[in-house]
């Protein structure tokens, strides 16, 4: 089973100005579904979301592509503190 949380974490840390504030939690939901929750510093939320959500959608696409081979599903959410 691939570590989807590590994949998302490595990408998000390269996008933000404060990589030490990045927290990525990966939790299996059952039936091959994994939920990835991303927390970043408030000033970096815009960087992770991108214009019209383009960056976060690309991040979701990469996570889903990694899960296809294992016949799993990944859900990526950004949480605000």
- Burial group, residue 10, by CB count within 10 angstroms (0-12, 13-18, 19+): exposed
Is the per-residue pLDDT at 81 higher than 80?
no
pLDDT in tens, 22-80: 999 999 998 999 999 999 999 999 999 999 999 999 999 999 999 998 999 999 999 98
pTM of this structure: 0.90
Q: How confident is the model at residue 21 (pLDDT cuts 50, 70, 90)?
A: very high
Show the CA angle centred on residue 75, arms to residues 70 and 79, nearest 5°.
145
Domains of the chain as residue ranges with CATH? 4-79 (3.30.300.20)
pLDDT in tens, 39-50: 999 999 999 999
End-to-end CA distance of the chain: 30
């Amino acid at each position: 089973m691939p570590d989807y949380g590590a994949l998302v974490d490595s990408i998000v840390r390269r996008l933000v100005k404060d990589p030490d504030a990045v927290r990525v939690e990966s939790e299996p939901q059952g039936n091959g579904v994994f939920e990835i929750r991303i927390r970043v510093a408030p000033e970096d939320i815009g960087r992770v979301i991108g214009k019209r959500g383009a960056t976060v959608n690309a991040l979701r696409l990469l996570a889903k592509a990694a899960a296809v081979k294992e016949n799993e599903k990944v859900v990526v959410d950004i949480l605000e503190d």
